[in-house]
Amino acid sequence: MTDLDVFQKETRAWLEENCPAEMRTPIRGDEDMCWGGRNYKFSSPAQKQWLETMAAKGWTVPTWPKEYGGGGLSKVEAKVLAKEMHKIGARSPLSSFGIWMLGPALLKFGNEAQKLEHLPPIARGEIRWCQGYSEPGAGSDLAALATKCEDKGDHFLVNGQKVWTSYADQADWIFCLVRTDFNAKKHEGISFVLFDMETKGVEARPIKLISGKSPFCETFFEDVKVSKDNLVGELNKGWTIAKYLLTHEREMIGGQGEGVARPLHEIAAGLLGLEDGKLPEPMLRAKIAEAEIDAWVFGQTIHRKLEEAKAGASLGADSSMLKYYGTELNKRRYELMMDASGHEGLEWESERSNGGKTARDWLRTKGNSIEGGTSEVQLNIISKHILQLPGA
């Protein structure tokens, strides 16, 4: 038996003993995801227990070093853990921008004190983070951001506004791009700072979306004092961190369409029934077949790109390709779901429609190809960095 076999066996036994039965059922929606944070209300005792047990083991962030609250696992071991969790249908113990986005950036660019201060609370789900990137005047052109950060001797003073700050109203801290030099070229005057959302002068206002939900906020900063210890990396070098983090975000958004989703044809057959073993609408049937083929091919492409990265290649601009295709595919999927749902899919409040779930989810997917850099921006990145077309 290899070491990995032993690890697999022990992991399986440990999960069997420690994962509560309630945490082995499929996630039905946002309300079943555990986000953690100072003011978080657990949806059940099992959810709390699962988070605490996994965090104690370092397995909310299996590959992070142990001194920062991680499990210290190798990539291969982490894959085994993920597989074993998948086998028993175990839910992820913690959903967190701290894990997905800030953590990797801090591990790469943060100093030792910052890592020790911020990473363990992220791993334990005690501090919930939000991302301060976009501004009203800096969407696709993110580097045009204008939130001002002035050096006041012993501290920074931040003034400005962010928008599309995911769950800012529920977050404890923010990682934020600010302008520290207004005279430099736009990419060279940006810094990456962290501060507490309870600091005086910070205000988050939820934005009501077309889905009727409000996962995003406008966030205002008025004379917000930020400790100089909370500058990550060098002053005016924040764009490098921003790009690194965006790459992570793209991989995450791009990967959402993959794998776990129920096949479209099953959903459609459930809604419309079958006639002579076929979906009753031949044109819709063809489009569903096409979308399912594309979903499989996309899944294979993610696997291939990750395998290549393991073999020493960097994902780099290919993350833009995955983000572009994955989000467009997910939009197509929900258009077809709406087609198959017909009249009932249009109901917005009824119990029959589970409060308009399909329609609201469909509307939500429209943001997939906008957030994290629009499809058009991803195509620009491919043109420039992969195809190297002139002037791109």
Partner 1 sequence: MALVLNEDEKMLQESAEGFFADKAPVKALRALRDNQDETGFDRTLWKDMADMGFAGVMIDEDHGGVDMGCMAAGLIAVEMGKNLTASPFISSAVLSATAISKAGNESQKALYLPKIAAGETLIAFAIDEGRKHAPSKIELTAERAGNGFKLNGSKAMVIDGHVADQLIVAAKTGEGKTTLFLVDPKASGLETERTIMVDSRNAARFEFDNVEVNADAVLGEIDEAESVIEAVLNVGRAVISAEMYGASAQAFKITTDYIRERKQFGTEIGRFQALQHRSSHLYTELELAKSAVLASLSALDTGDLKASDYVKMTKAKVGQVAKLAGVEGVQMHGGVGMTDEYDIGLYLKRIRVTQELFGDTHFHMEALAKAAGY
Q: Which residues bind partner 1 (CB under 8 A)?
A: 263, 265, 268-269, 274, 277-279, 285-286, 288-290, 292-294, 296-298, 300-301, 303-304, 307-308, 311, 318, 321, 324-325, 376, 378-380, 382-383, 386-387, 389-392
Decide whether 205 or 278 has the Cβ nearer to partner 1: 278
CB of 88: closest distance to partner 1 in angstroms? 23
Decide whether 153 or 277 has the Cβ nearer to partner 1: 277
- Cα end-to-end distance, the chain, whole Å: 53
Decide whether 336 or 359 has the Cβ nearer to partner 1: 336
CB of 169: closest distance to partner 1 in angstroms? 36
Amino acid at site 82: A
Residue 72 host element (H or E): none
Question: How many CB atoms sit inside 10 A of residue 322's CB?
Answer: 24
Decide whether 246 or 269 has the Cβ nearer to partner 1: 269
CB of 376: closest distance to partner 1 in angstroms? 7
Decide whether 18 or 301 has the Cβ nearer to partner 1: 301
**Sheet strands (E) in 82-146:** 129-132
Decide whether 271 or 338 has the Cβ nearer to partner 1: 271
Distance (Å, rounded) from C-alpha 329 to C-alpha 341?
Answer: 18
CB of 159: closest distance to partner 1 in angstroms? 35
CB of 297: closest distance to partner 1 in angstroms? 5
Question: Residue 233, CB half-sphere, CA atoms under 13 Å: how many?
Answer: 21
Decide whether 116 or 389 has the Cβ nearer to partner 1: 389
Q: Which residues pair with 220 in a beta bridge?
A: 161, 203
3-class secondary structure, 131: strand
Residue 219 host element (H or E): strand 216-227
Q: What are the helix (H) ranges across 146-256?
A: 238-254
CB of 82: closest distance to partner 1 in angstroms? 18
Decide whether 108 or 385 has the Cβ nearer to partner 1: 385
> Is 57 exposed, middle or buried (CB count within 10 Å of its CB: 0-12, 13-18, 19+)?
middle
Give helix then strand counts, H and E, for the chain: 12, 8
Q: Which residue has the tokens 């950060």?
A: 149
CB of 267: closest distance to partner 1 in angstroms? 11
CB of 287: closest distance to partner 1 in angstroms? 10
**Kindly report the CA angle at 67 between 237 and 244, in degrees rounded to 5?**
25
| CA distance to 74, 92, 289, 355, per residue, from 107 (Å) | 15, 22, 43, 41
